[in-house]
Structure 1
């Protein structure tokens, strides 16, 4: 079922939204890699897998997989067709375990998508990155490709029932390599330095103002 859905969902979404994509050559075609993106909308986790020519695994909040009735079944099929895995973000143990899931994905040579801000920006600014992205990159020894999304917040604004067809841009930056760069740096400092480097690259791609503070998750985020 997954392969059937995965063969249908991305081409359909790409045909509808027709996003403008730049820098796709920076995404390695094989091997473990982290795609680290800004986060403006829940559709971000749809747009990135749609345009990348290889499977990208994202963790999505479990609410997306638990809706009732026909609508819930369709939504669940949509997210499963994009290769997303559910995680309960209100369960601390589940959130910690999600890092192990990410390392497993990277360890088998797949691409893993992550939002270092932790939750979507509600004011359009780029918030400070949390160091989970650096933890994954340094532990797995894989590069980080920064991603800048523009326009996804207009696809389905808060309060809107149906998605809209609006101009979207997805920009991929040059891979940030980690191998051998932080061998003599204390681990905590290495994670912070790498995370800040990733966020600066994302800001350069998205054009967002950097907030200089962490974003806090709201109930509907």
Structure 2
């Protein structure tokens, strides 16, 4: 007998399809977060043409070196990506108090993820399988597969979870190269540096798994593409792992 909760007892997905909430998030981006990001940073987005017409579910995968990374993604990416893009947050922390969960949802369209050994109480299990449920429902998600911010600036190994999800649900991965975040707001800093430090987001072409490719091989290609974008300062690098 399965110990998985029935669908009716899981976190509902209504909020991720709600048009009024999506419009509210768009107003927050347009009139608050985007102007703030463009005021404190010299921000550039390259490669928007690579995602023209991209709809439905997909997985945005980026390198991670600063607390600025998620705000950059949700504030600076094209509207058709940010209006529905969701990202996971620890259920035992960010979803424990309704006021906190509403604020984080407003800025980052968060969904709950249960951490191992942290699930207890009356809501235990309610966040089961949220990432897959959202992808199945056509909601794109953001994943930083390094798992934590780089302390050195070097891109760490990528965990294969994002690639496995892409394969399981047959959705593309959109690689993002995030450049300048660590210099603009290093680990330990509470605010970005003064003087509008430059940051750039490179949006690569969507990628799909190759025939007979393992999740580990697939995520290695994604990581290699991101490294190539950053090294060549291009959203369409000439050389990457597929060459």
Moved more, 162-171 or 106-115: 162-171
Q: Which of 199, 202, 205 is matched with 1:174 structurally?
A: 205
- Normalised to the residue count of structure 2, the TM-score between the two structures is 0.68
Deviation, 1:61, is 3.9
Change (3 A) 1:110 1:143: same
Q: Distance in 2 between matches of 1:38 and 1:29?
A: 21
Change (3 A) 1:29 1:153: same
Q: Distance in 1 between matches of 2:189 and 2:142?
A: 26
Moved more, 52-61 or 138-147: 52-61
Task: State the Cα RMSD in Å.
Answer: 3.2
Does the CA-based 8 Å contact 2:113-2:128 persist in structure 1?
Answer: no
* Higher-Rg member (1/2): 2
Deviation, 1:49, is 2.0
Q: Distance in 1 between matches of 2:56 and 2:95?
A: 32
Q: Which of 129, 145, 152 is matched with 1:116 structurally?
A: 145
Does the CA-based 8 Å contact 1:148-1:171 persist in structure 2?
Answer: yes
Number of residue pairs the alignment of both structures matches: 196
Change (3 A) 1:77 1:43: farther
Q: Does the alignment pair 1:29 with 2:60?
A: no
Q: Which of 46, 58, 66 is matched with 1:41 structurally?
A: 66
- 1:44-63 matches, within 5 Å, as 44-50=69-75, 51-53=77-79, 54=81, 55-61=84-90
Q: Does the alignment pair 1:83 with 2:103?
A: no
Does the CA-based 8 Å contact 1:9-1:78 persist in structure 2?
Answer: no
Does the CA-based 8 Å contact 1:149-1:170 persist in structure 2?
Answer: yes
- Normalised to the residue count of structure 1, the TM-score between the two structures is 0.74
Deviations 1:92-133 (A, max 9, x none): 779x99782111121111211111111111110001111101
Query: Who is 1:152 aligned against?
Result: 181
Note the residue ranges of structure 2 that are not aligned, 5 or more in a row.
1-19, 233-243
Deviation, 1:41, is 1.7
